[in-house]
């Protein structure tokens, strides 16, 4: 379930209350993975923009 949610683009999935460690750890892992993917995408976008600027100028 966690892998499917991560692959679908979620940052985390809803936890029942009260959260238990068996649900909390995978939710944090999923959020960290997506955050890293988003960081890499932003970095790639910046590099692409800089390349375009260098080509024009």
Q: Quick check: helix, strand or coil at residue 16?
A: coil
Encode pLDDT of 38-52 as tens digits.
899 999 999 999 999
Please indicate, yes or no, whether the overall pTM of this predicted structure exceeds 0.75. Answer: no
CA distances (Å), origin 50, targets 1, 29, 55: 38, 32, 9
Q: How far apart are CA 49 and CA 40, in angstroms?
A: 14
Range(s) of the domain holding residue 19 = 2-56
Task: Read off the tokens for 48.
Answer: 């692409």
Encode pLDDT of 12-37 as tens digits.
655 567 777 887 888 888 888 888 99
Q: What confidence tier does 2 reach under pLDDT thresholds 50, 70, 90?
A: low
Domain count, the chain: 1
Please tell me the predicted confidence (pLDDT) of residue 41.
95
């Amino acid at each position: 379930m966690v892998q499917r949610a991560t692959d679908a683009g979620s940052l985390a999935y809803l936890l029942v209350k009260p959260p238990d460690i068996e649900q909390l750890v995978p939710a944090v892992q999923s959020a960290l993975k997506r955050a890293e993917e988003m960081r890499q995408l932003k970095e790639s976008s910046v590099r692409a923009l800089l390349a375009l600027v260098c080509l024009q100028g």
